[in-house]
């Protein structure tokens, strides 16, 4: 079976981020056909169309990294019912300049993680809207809204909730099938 290279983009920059912990748990529960590369979006300069003529080296490197993967797994917290600015910036940077969209046609999935009960639902759907526009094939089912994240991990960041582990395994099997069916040939 082909090995698929997956970019993992976490929209939370916090060192003890529940989204980062969930990303690690997802990677640990993934089928062997998926290999992962964590993408650092913390240092991407904010998108500014004036910089497109001579893009910052961080933009160029990020676009090249995205172009080199078969698919993308996004994890997002919810800030004010939307995605964090750093995550939206990453989407914008890799989609530009016009006609050079690095996301184009790539399969993707979204997981939103929150300490709250609504599990980042708003952020998940705001990100989904942006991904539709940049022409990413975003997995619809199963949807992944992880709530109550503060009680899911031990002091070392290890996932300790069995039902969440089971769900993440199911999600990653579906994501593997999604990648296999939608990867650009």
CATH number at 110 reads 3.40.50.360
* Phi, psi angle pair for 65, to nearest 5°: -60, -45
What confidence tens digit (pLDDT) does each residue in 129-157 have?
999 999 999 999 999 999 999 999 999 99
pTM: 0.96
What confidence tens digit (pLDDT) does each residue in 35-61 have?
999 999 999 999 999 999 999 999 999
The neighbouring-strand residues paired with 146 are: 113
The mean of the pLDDT values for the chain is 96
Q: Structurally, how many domains does the chain consist of?
A: 1
Q: Which of 168, 162, 170, 164 minimizes the C-alpha distance to 26?
A: 168
Owner of token pair 């993707």 = 108
Range of the domain at 34: 4-182
Output the pLDDT for position 1: 67
């Amino acid at each position: 079976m082909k090995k698929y290279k997956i970019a993992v983009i976490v929209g939370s920059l916090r060192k003890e981020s529940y989204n980062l912990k969930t990303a690690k748990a997802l990677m640990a529960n993934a089928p062997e056909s998926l290999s992962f590369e964590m993408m650092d979006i913390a240092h991407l300069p904010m998108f500014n169309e004036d910089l497109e003529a001579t893009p910052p080296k961080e933009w160029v490197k990020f676009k090249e990294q995205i172009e080199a993967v078969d698919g993308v797994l996004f994890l997002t917290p919810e800030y004010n019912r939307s995605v964090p600015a750093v995550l939206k910036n990453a989407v914008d940077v890799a989609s530009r300049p016009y006609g050079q969209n690095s996301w184009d046609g790539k399969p993707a999935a979204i997981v939103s993680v929150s300490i709250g009960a609504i599990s980042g639902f708003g952020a998940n759907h705001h990100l989904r809207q942006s991904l539709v526009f940049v022409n990413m094939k975003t997995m619809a089912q199963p949807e992944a809204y992880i709530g109550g994240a503060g009680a899911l991990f031990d002091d070392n960041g290890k996932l300790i909730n069995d039902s969440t582990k089971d769900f993440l395994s199911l999600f990653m099997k579906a994501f593997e099938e999604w990648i296999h069916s939608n990867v650009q040939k």
